Structure 1
Amino acid sequence: MGSEEGNLKSEWKEKVFQIFKEFMTRLAKLEELGAAGSKLLTGYQQGLEFLRQPPIDKTSKLIENIVKANETQRVKSYFEAGCINVHDSLQNMSKLRTSLLGLNDHIITAKGILNELEGLLEDVAGAIQTANECLAPLWDEDSGSGLDLQDTTDKEISTSSHLQGPEMTDLAALMGIIYTMVKQDYVMQERIVTSLNLKSLSVELESYSLMWSLRPFINDEIVHQAWRLIP
């Protein structure tokens, strides 16, 4: 009976492992998305900072002397425009808009992947519950057979060795921990994106960019541990 139990357990472990691999594939997509979002946030910060930079002080004697010494039609046009480079301003306004649209798309896509991770977490919980229900009758038979552990055959030892590696509950627990971390990271990103506006302070933008790139809720060692389980 031990061989039958071992084969059934091995089959369910494989099913759980496949769910785990799919979970990690989705996680990789989420991490790639987060890196792209970090670049978009930096682009938004740069665009806004450019638009808010003060114009040249035309009342400064030093600036006046420099202009007179190097006066060209381009410099004259620049001053006539109020010391604003219209072309650069338009480019940065476009960059600002593109970055913000990209960040909003990021939040929508990330939410979709997060929902998929949650679904896989439910799948693995269901698989483990079903596996336990299938194995329970075999455990009951073994407990009533009166067999001693010393009676284990070589075939059963071979089956047992095939079951080495993380248990189903270990994989499920790891998935749960990672899901909790990435969900917290997503919530942080969502709050950052929804708070962005033309009045955002420079210190706020700097903090947002730093927090996004640092991913304070993600324990990299746990994620690396999960990846090491995949051959």
Structure 2
Amino acid sequence: MNADIAPLAADVLGRDEAQTVVLLHPICANREIWRLQVPVWSSSLRLVLVDLPGHGLSGPAVGPARLEDFAHRLAGTLERAGIGQVSLVGVSLGAMLAQAFALAYPERISKLVLANAGAVTPQPVVELWNERQRNYRELGVEQHVRSTMARWFDDDYRGRAPLTVQWIESMVRGTTGEGYFHAVDAIKGMDHGARLREISAPTLVVAGEKDAAVKPEICAKLAQAVDGARLVRLPCGHISNVEAAAEFTEVVGQFLLD
């Protein structure tokens, strides 16, 4: 790792002698989004909760806006901490980064959990991200927060869990525009489809049955492209580890410990 590039901010929790699992959050969130899983998983696993570049307490992204560069920065962070082989659990952007890391460092992967993400950003979706960036510039942060919540959680969940939604809103609001734009640019360049057959680690793909941001059919296509991958659908929208927290914790935890 380039000595001039600061490591990502991270917490290491749980049992030192246990399997190491790196938790990778969605765009405009941070490592705190895993707090619903930590009490259960930390009793059996060594957890590394990471803030992605430009998010949470991690410094701004540097260099090109590419998922591969995010993966290299994550690899350097783990190396500095003396962490070798890991399992990766990612939601949305975190799952996109997990794919990039697995393709760049296959020898370092034990297991993969890819939730609420595809493998390729097609041109129509690139245009949607371009529009979201324009709206952020023109309409400001609060409109960005509202539109993000509308994509991530349906009306029913927002009505049933307003305090939880406010918690997620605070993460989105607290993410810098620089961090958001750099991550969006990385997402727009994602193109892992032709290389997914290179992934040999045991893989679990998680889809949200009500996910309006990444339809479950897209997750199913990802699962079909990775040899031996298993697909599970949870009764939730885009942020599966929050909206279906108990189910996510159990299904993913059992997969990691099997």
Q: Which has the higher strand share?
A: 2
Higher percent of residues as helix: 1
Structure with greater contact order relative to length (CA < 8 Å, sep ≥ 6): 1
- CA radius of gyration, larger in: 1
TM-score range relative to shorter protein: under 0.3
User: How does the TM-score come out when normalised to structure 2?
Assistant: 0.23
Give the TM-score taking structure 1 as reference length: 0.25
